[in-house]
Structure 1
Amino acid sequence: MSRPESEAPHSEQLLSEVAALPGLPGVYRYFDAQGQLLYVGKARNLKKRVASYFQKNHDGTRIGHMVSKIVRMETTVVRSEAEALLLENNLIKTLAPKFNILFRDDKSYPYLKITGTRETFRTAGRLPPPSLAFPRMAYYRGVVDKRHSYYGPYPSAWAVKESITLLQKVFRLRTCEDTVFANRTRPCLLYQIKRCSGPCVDLIDSEAYARDVADAERFLRGETQAVLDTLEQRMMAHAEKLEFEQAAELRNQITALSRVLHQQAVDNVSDQDVDVLAVKVQGGRACVNLAMIRGGRHLGDRPYFPTHVEDATAIDSVMSDDETSEVPPADPADPAERVAVRVLEAFIAQHYLGVAMPHTLVTSHPVGRPLLDALTEQIGAKVNAVHHPREHRRIWLEMAQKNADIALARLLAEEGSQQARTRALADALNLPDDQLDTLRIECFDISHTAGESTQASCVVFEAHKMQNSQYRRYKIEGITPGDDYAAMRQVLLRRYGKIAEALRADDALPAGSPPAEVDPATPAGVAGAEAASAVGPAPVDGAIVATGAPDEVAAIEPTVESVAGPRMPDLVLVDGGKGQVSMAREVFQQLGLDLSLIVGVEKGEGRKVGLEELVFADGREKVYLGHDSAALMLVAQIRDEAHRFAITGMRAQRAKVRTGGSRLEDIPGVGPKKRARLLQRFGGVRGVASASVDDLCTVEGISTELADAIYRALH
């Protein structure tokens, strides 16, 4: 197999493997010299598809950059193109290759849950307890339980809660927890404002409540007209029997439901479940806006922003002549349209892989038949994609397209503003401005309550944005409670001690740098004493990692940080003035690190926002950037994020210490009486948490199943 001289030669073994590939459908994977996955692709004909990468001249292009890195290849032969597409996107979602279009694997979608309404569950065995005889509505996100009914998915938590409020107004179903329901002696406020029918105190019988539940479920399924007809018939029946109060209640339900149905002009009962997908590509970025129609109601939309768009679309363009049919028709004169098609197909394949989906998609661009066939094979029912919709579907698509335009414009504006802030800070601090995309800033803050549950936070700013997956929390121990200076010393030693040692091993530190002298008796000494390998990951021991959305840190767990070799930040921000900066300077001198990296953020007069000054550890004079400075805005953003992250960690740790990690009130089946018995028997929550399942069973009213549930909840 011949190769252009301009491209780096590949090994004979790799080229022989390419030549030996079969002409069958399958999936191929490319790896670089370090074993990193570069790209995952599919093909109707593996031999022709893969050979096209190595036979053509891609010199000087994104494709050439990727091809030049390939040293190893893996392939998997499958039975059909549809199966290859499903496997390809399964691998993309799980392995996140460097050159594929990637959509962030977001949290699962929320659902509206109605408890215990499945017929097999309600009619099996003995009569259900009161809490199951009167099902409740709830917001739910997680694994589906077959005993309950779920409606959705919804694009956001707000959409679920809005629907629950709507159903409360019309059908007056309960939303209280089972433990609350079982212990009520009088109706709550929701009954007083006509949002609940009061089943907890027998103000409605189970048959009437079951009718309301059935009507609510029919409404959620989109059978709105049937629900209205049923309510009207019941109202007329009560009126004929001169039961005017009951008739008036039903009349009010009909009025409320009719008002709800007219609130959304885009509602249409002819379409039950539809997803509307609109794509916008601009400035090297793309946005896919997903609007959800469930039960004939427009539930809202949600934007998604993929990564690696330019690299992936350039690589996807390399294909054999017999494979051009894989690309749905698009305007060849408009590259943005072809990119939009590929982004849309990547989203559909990754988003709907292994999850429930509607049978109809309304799309802004055409979708290839192989993708639809693969989805049809996956769900066992025909999936249609409508590209040129009419009537109400056209209105939905226009709304989704407009929202995609707005979301992408906002993203580009935010990215441009953030880049301007990064440049302004680099100019203000005389940092090199030729590598702003890789500028890394780490910021530290200390938080505690009167010395209790002291925690330090480290947040990371890189590539013009906060990198929340790299945030770290450090549990501070062995210091005088409330000593923020000692806490700062400990966290800096633990953060940079091993990195400094690894840099010294690589002779990366200046000659004559003093060795790090860390007290081995302290937690920092234990962490810093362990040698870090000069190659491979360098763990930072003692750190508590908390990843996820910056505003949704639910828990903290011990872990280690992996970095690709020693990497010091370009700037170390310390939330504090001369005192904290002096402590940071001592640590850096002890570790032999560059003092010019340390910058303290000192609060201004009256601690007013915008009056902060920057304090330097290397002897430079203080700098006041100005209240409207873009550089100060970035510093404040990073400092505030470190403060927020430290506070949430401290509060979580404090709550864990005070309550034993879980509250008995949150465990289903543990009411006030059983809770009192448990606390009295074991002397508090910590005693309950330390008890075994057998010990818990000795308490009156605690069955083996409940004891097991309590044990699992507290551990």
Structure 2
Amino acid sequence: MSNTSLEIQLKTLPNQPGVYQYFDSDGKILYIGKAKNLKKRVSSYFNKQHDYGKTRVLVKKIATIKHIVVDTETDALLLENNLIKKYQPRYNVMLKDDKSYPWICIKNERFPRVFSTRRVIKDGSEYFGPYTSMKTVSTLLNLIKGLFQLRTCNYDLSQEKIDANKYKVCLEYHLGNCKGACEGYETETEYHANIDAIKEILKGNFKDSLSQFKQQMKDYAEDMQFEEAQKIKEKIEVLENYQSKSTIVNPKISNVDVFSIVSDESYGYINFLQLSYGSIIRSHTLEIKKKLQETDVELLELAITELRQRFNSKSKEIYVPFKVNIGEHIKTTIPKLGDKKHILDLSLRNAKYYRMERFKQVKITDPDRHVNRIMAQMKADLRLSEEPRHIECFDNSNIQGTNPVAACVVFKDGKPSKKDYRHFNIKTVEGPDDFASMEEVVFRRYKRLLDEDQPLPQLIVIDGGKGQLSSALKSLDVLGLRGKIAIIGIAKRLEELFYPDDPIPLYLDKKSETLKIIQQLRNEAHRFGIEHHRNKRSKSALNTELETIPGIGEKTVVELLKTFKSARRVSNAKLDELEDAVGKSKADKIYNYYHN
């Protein structure tokens, strides 16, 4: 489709709320979006430069634009959600319907049964849920069973069949778990009073049931029926115990949905809590893969609509961490303190825990996705132009004085690549001069990589502050690499990250994975450098020791090292091996020196 055709389509878009759909030249749907103002929103795709690659590719592929006008933004949000799930366009985040959540069913019967199911049948029965955990369902059903005597059989308990003595009471009646409605021992009115109480409990309202049981206990006590009163007392204790465990905030907070979000470069994690009378009656976290660098606001708006639809929420108020636009019929609260803030913080904590668990799972089951996420996060955190797949870190601190050395460690895809580690003996610097040493090793390292046409890193980390960073930059300038490789310095004390030509350091979150990888780089470089320095000192000390053996001169030492490679091997050599190398006379002197 020509640009002229697209321009005409853009000009004819209305200034009304609605949903827009992008199609490619083959008529395949690419993307579905919602808009407060269709003309403004759709035109923005074509009027500005897009930094994100996928968005640029999407715009290039658009051949046809279709739109659906609706009355309100809420309608647009719901329509967008349903169309995305129906067509699953390539450039939209995917929202998958999960039909397998458990529900609690109150069956549409004369004497309703209460049971769990994963199938919702539209036969007039009432369904509570869906619940995200079968454990919650089991707990509630056990609570109900302990409080109320309900039938578990699936007989058709019509009045005609009961009057005709069609059924006989079963073992459940004799155990006291059922009151025998099948033989007319319990009326429909009595039974439905219990069902009404169960419905309130499933909504999180314990107040009415507690009041009812307390009145029953009082009545039994007044009638001297103390055994029955004791049974009711036990039920009250069960209900109060369950209530105390399930109520986590003010019971006045009821019929409220709570949403929070944490995100990284690739995914958004949205937690949903549903509250009734201060109790959390539902918790679910939705993971959404980003497609076009969607913002937290965009992801949260999409997720709120999806989760409320998925769990059939009718709550009139939601708590969120920031302003969202999901329609005028829902009250939006951004809590700042008190019980409301407490519950929002709890939701955020759930989202963070879920994200951490997903990291652990992904690390084991999908290492590539784990690496991709970390690389994308490092690119964003460190303000880099490309992902730091290949990082090199230099260290020559704390090993000044004798035998000056430096270390270069290499990380690839966020992990140590030990075969690429390199040691450097400082050659051009006299005395302990950290800055000049850093200048030398950085020059030697990248001069060699350039000469050998080896791949260069995307990031260089210098263990040190501004001075060390400036020294490394001098070498990059000489080699013409400044601006081609990102370089930062990390100062030890406060974990400050220094950038070239920027006097203000960057401070990363102490718990961030990016900082942990940089710290691991720095520690590994330090360990590798110290190890080399220690070996060099030991070798030097051993060489000196050979020269101190009486009657052994420099030429003999050279011969010994040529044969045995190290002073340690000389000290452990047998007498005949020494004789073969330097003759009997000198061999006796060396052997006696080490063995006497």
Q: TM-score, normalised by structure 2?
A: 0.54
**Distance change >3 Å, CA 391–CA 154, structure 1 → 2:** farther
Quick one: distance in 2 between partners of 1:79 and 1:366?
Answer: 25
Superposition deviation, residue 146 in structure 1: 6.1
Given the superposition, is the C-alpha separation of residues 37 and 177 from structure 1 closer, same or farther in structure 2, using an over 3 Å criterion?
Answer: same
Equivalent residue for 2:227, pick from 245, 260, 269? 245
Is 1:271–2:253 an aligned residue pair? yes
Aligned pairs for 1:108-507 (under 5 A) are: 109-116=101-108, 132-143=109-120, 145=122, 147-178=124-155, 185=168, 187-188=170-171, 192=175, 195-197=177-179, 199-200=181-182, 204=186, 206-266=188-248, 268-294=250-276, 296-307=278-289, 309-311=290-292, 313=294, 339-353=295-309, 356-369=312-325, 371-373=326-328, 376=329, 383-388=330-335, 390-420=337-367
* SS state at 1:236 partner: helix
After superposition, what is the alpha-carbon deviation per residue over 1:71-123, rounded to whole angstroms, capped at 9, x for unaligned? 2221223344343333222222221222223322222654322223xxxxxxx
Task: Give SS of 2:152's match.
Answer: coil
Residue 45 of structure 1, aligned match among 11, 20, 37: 37
Change in 2 beyond 3 A, CA 1:206/1:389: farther
Give the match's secondary structure for 2:10: helix
Q: How does 1:511-550 map to 2 (within 5 A)?
A: none
Q: Which secondary structure does the structure 2 equivalent of 1:306 belong to? A: strand
Residue 107 of structure 1 aligns with which residue? 99
Alignment of 1:493-642 (within 5 A): none
Q: Choose from 89, 100, 107 the match for 1:97.
A: 89
For residue 274 of structure 1, report the CA deviation from its aligned partner: 2.2
Aligned AA (1:85): L
SS in 2 for 1:305: strand
Contact 1:362-1:397 at 8 Å conserved across structures: no
The aligned counterpart of 1:435 is none
- AA aligned to 1:49 is R
Alignment of 1:669-684 (within 5 A): none
Counterpart amino acid of 1:135? P
* Deviation, structure 1 residue 66: 0.9
2:66 match: secondary structure? strand
Deviation at 1:169, TM superposition (A): 0.9
CA distance in 2, matches of 1:212, 1:188: 21
Q: State how far apart, in whole Å, the 1-side matches of 2:260 and 2:116 are.
A: 28
Determine if contact 2:102/2:130 at 8 Å carries over to the other structure: yes
SS at match of 1:104: coil
SS state at 1:135 partner: coil
Secondary structure of 2:272's match?
Answer: strand
Alpha-carbon distance in 1 for matches of 2:13, 2:53 = 26
Cα deviation, residue 26, structure 1: 2.8
Distance 1:296 1:173, change over 3 A: farther
**2:46 aligned with 1:54:** yes
CA contact (8 A) 1:18 1:50 kept: yes
C-alpha distance 81-176 of structure 1, shift in aligned 2 (>3 A)? same
CA deviation profile, 1:214-249 (whole Å, cap 9, x unmatched) = 332333344422222222222222222223333233
For residues 402 and 138 of structure 1, what CA distance do their matches in structure 2 show?
32
Structure number, greater radius of gyration:
2
1:450-493 CA distance string (max 9 Å, x none) = xxxxxxxxxxxxxxxxxxxxxxxxxxxxxxxxxxxxxxxxxxxx
Distance in 2, matches of 1:355 and 1:167, equals: 22
Verify the 8 A CA contact 1:31 1:70 in the aligned structure 2. yes
After superposition, the Cα gap between the structure-2 partners of 1:157 and 1:35, relative to the gap in structure 1 and judged at 3 Å, is farther
* SS state at 1:262 partner: helix
Distance in 1 between residues matched to 2:300 and 2:97, nearest whole Å: 16
Once the two structures are TM-superposed, the CA of residue 210 in structure 1 deviates from its matched residue by 3.5
Amino acid at match of 1:238: Y
Query: Structure 1 residues 115 and 284, CA, compared in 2 at 3 Å: closer, same or farther?
Result: same
Amino acid paired to 1:399: L
Question: Are residues 238 and 398 of structure 1, via their aligned partners in 2, closer, same or farther at CA, if it must alter by over 3 Å?
Answer: same
Q: Quick check: 1:273–1:296 contact (8 Å CA) kept in 2?
A: no
Contact 1:89–1:353 (CA under 8 A) maintained in structure 2: no
User: What is the alpha-carbon distance in structure 1 between the residues aligned to residue 14 and residue 188 of structure 2?
Assistant: 65
Size of the alignment, in residue pairs? 365
5+ long unaligned stretches in structure 1: 1-8, 117-131, 314-338, 377-382, 424-715
Q: 1:391 to 1:213 in 2, by over 3 A?
A: same
Equivalent position SS for 2:251: coil
Deviation at 1:142, TM superposition (A): 4.3
* Identical residues among aligned pairs (%): 27
Aligned pair partner of 2:26 in 26, 31, 34: 34
Q: 1:273 to 1:197 in 2, by over 3 A?
A: farther
Match of 1:72 among 39, 64, 68: 64
**Is the alpha carbon distance of 1:188 and 1:299 closer, same or farther for their aligned partners in structure 2, counting shifts above 3 Å?**
farther
Counterparts in 2 of 1:159 and 1:222: CA distance versus 1, 3 Å? closer
Q: Which residue of 2 aligns with 1:460?
A: none
